[in-house]
Homo-oligomer: A and B are copies of this chain.
Amino acid sequence: MLGVREQKKQQTRKAIIDAAIRLFTEKGFEQTSMSELARAAGVGKGTIYGYFKAKEEIFLAYCEAEIEFAFAALDRKLDEQAPLVDQLVAQTIGQITFVTSNREFGRIFAREMVFPGESSKLASRELDMRYLSKLGEVLGRSQQLGELPEDSDPLLLIAHLHAIYILVLSTFYRDDLTSLEDAEVLVRLLVLQVLYGPTALALATAEERQKWGNLKQQFLEQRELKL
């Protein structure tokens, strides 16, 4: 049986998160002040800091709910019978779609997840466990089906995939990529190479190679760069 104290604490915590979900969704993260949040949650401003170390930490708690939902939706769409590459691309693009669906949220989220501050380190680690284990599952299934080379290292593979995910996310915030369609082409080519080696470009369709050619040119022109 929970004491009065513990009960109230959970209640308060929930009130804060609920208020955060409402306000962040309504007005955005930056536009919601801690005083407002406190008022909406029916507590004093200082109280919030007994539950969260910083505003960013509330944001990550807020994200947990959203991510739970998004991942569940993604799971439903993911076809376990599809070729490995397709599954990995779908998962990656799905996440990118979700994260970038709100530009401001996505940037804060990405920053906290990829380069967390001392205060959000733990929360960020918790959050990406879900992601890691998801990739692990997909790869595990695939390994059993013999789709993966025997001698490849699953964790290194996950590292590559994670690296690709972060990179493509970054290209969005740097305006190097602007459409999800373009992102998918890039992700697919990179994943293909990671799975099957640098010559795996040949496995891509002509259309994909064509699109990549355009992307490439656009990128180089924008930077007045040559290779």
Contacts and interface: CB of A to CB of B under 8 A. Distances in A.
A218 to B, nearest CB: 11
A190 interface: yes
Contacts of A132: 223, 225
A175 to B, nearest CB: 7
Contacts of A152: 198-199, 201
A34 B121 CA distance: 28
A158 to B, nearest CB: 8
Contacts of A61: none
B170 A115 contact: yes
A173 interface: yes
Given A164-B163, A199-B149, A155 B227 contact: yes
Interface in A80-119: 107, 110-111, 114-117
B117 A190 contact: no
Contacts of A156: 189-190, 193, 201, 212
Contact of A174 (B121, B170, B190): B121
Interface string A124-165: 110001001100100110000000010111111101101110
Nearest to A213: B153
Interface residues on A, range: 35 or more
Contacts of A153: 201, 212, 216
Contact of A114 (B114, B175, B186, B227): B114
A194 B198 contact: yes
A195 interface: yes
A114 B166 contact: yes
Nearest to A165: B163
Interface string A198-227: 110110000000001000100110010111
14 contacts: A107-B117, A115-B170, A115-B173, A121-B175, A129-B223, A153-B201, A154-B227, A155-B219, A156-B189, A156-B193, A157-B198, A159-B167, A159-B186, A163-B166
